Amino acid sequence: MQTPALTPTTPLAPVTDARNPGMPLDMQWVRSVQANTSAIERRAATLPGRRSVKTDFQAAWLLKAITCIDLTTLAGDDTDDRVRRLCAKARQPVRADILDALGMGQITVGAVCVYHDMIGAAVDALEGTGIPVAAVSTGFPAGLSPFHLRVREIEESVAIGAEEIDIVISRRHVLSGNWQALYDEMSTFRAACGEAHVKAILATGELGTLRNVARASLICMMAGADFIKTSTGKESVNATLPVSVAMVRAIRDYYQRTGYRVGYKPAGGISKAKDALTYLALMKDELGRPWLQPDLFRFGASSLLGDIERQLEHHVTGRYSARYRHALG
């Protein structure tokens, strides 16, 4: 009997909807991971043009993108009032008249992402909505505070209501090839999160090569990451399509071998509706429909929502409105 051909997302292990539990560090697998940079860059270059959608289809994809946004404020001058305004936008990200014209009911964003000190205000403002609060942690954005303080920060964020924790890895472990240290660090962070889901921020712009990105992605998944994320948004280079191709293919490889689905979060520099469409097309092409849902895909963004709402108004009215009419709070 002829063996059926494997599709890009056909798993070799039993599929489960359970949370990724991680696995023992497999250095043979890690060392086998390579990245053909020129091929990855060619693949990334095809995405913006080949997967264009228009008219009602574009509006539908943009509405989907909104539900996958981690609406974020990570500024030094954040206040409780600013966070409450952001949460109000998270609860109603698109004006009611635009949704009515599109025949849509109410939608919300995927989560609200804030610093530790702002968790309380966000939790209070989102009470009863089902929108989770995500907190950046572990000495964000550099990840260079003492290790025990980074672990304690996770525990305190979870204790006061954060349901998702965005941790930053120690870049030096990747740059020096100390994969055991990276695995141990990530495993400790995962344990400290408890029931809260953990997103591992790789700070890909500081990892040097796409091979490092792919190997770090795999290590974090082996250590139990629920999501892998490109950037803090504070690096000089943040989310890019080549990096994203390398990371989602690592997710696909992990899924094929273990049967566990891990999410993906590009962050930093994604501010245009057309960029959101490109990233959604990447997820659909490389991983399939399950990765078009907020439990497996998020944008780390702030200004992206305003541009999407502006494009939706243009779809409804045929006119572009001023940006100030689509404020975040």
Q: What is the pLDDT of residues 184-193, one digit of tens each?
A: 999 999 999 9
Predicted TM-score of the model (pTM): 0.94
CA angle 69, 267, 264 (to 5 degrees): 75
In this prediction, residue 54 carries a pLDDT of 86
- Is 81 one of the catalytic residues? no
Q: In what order do the strands lie in the sheet with 111-114?
A: 263-265, 227-229, 197-201, 164-168, 133-136, 111-114, 69-72, 299-301
pLDDT at 4: 39
Out of 226, 265, 275, 307, which one is annotated catalytic?
265
pLDDT at 103: 95
CB atoms within 10 A of CB 124: 14
- Mean of pLDDT over the chain: 94
List domains and CATH numbers for the chain: 55-326 (3.20.20.70)
Alpha carbon 250 to its chain centroid, in Å, reads 15
Annotated catalytic residue 64: no
* pLDDT, tens only, 153-173: 999 999 999 999 999 999 999
pLDDT tens digits in sequence order for the chain, 329 residues long: 333 344 555 666 777 789 999 999 999 999 999 999 999 999 999 998 766 788 999 999 999 999 999 999 999 999 999 999 999 999 999 999 999 999 999 999 999 999 999 999 999 999 999 999 999 999 999 999 999 999 999 999 999 999 999 999 999 999 999 999 999 999 999 999 999 999 999 999 999 999 999 999 999 999 999 999 999 999 999 999 999 999 999 999 999 999 999 999 999 999 999 999 999 999 999 999 999 999 999 999 989 999 999 999 999 999 888 777 777 76
pLDDT at 50: 65
Q: Which of 70, 226, 229, 307 is labelled catalytic?
A: 229
Contact between 231 and 240 under an 8 Å Cβ cutoff? The reply is: no
Alpha helices in the chain (DSSP H): 27-32, 37-50, 55-67, 80-91, 96-101, 119-125, 147-159, 171-175, 179-193, 210-222, 241-258, 273-286, 303-317
pLDDT, residue 43, reads 95
Catalytic site includes residue 229: yes
pLDDT of 11 reads 62
Active-site option among 166, 226, 275, 307: 166
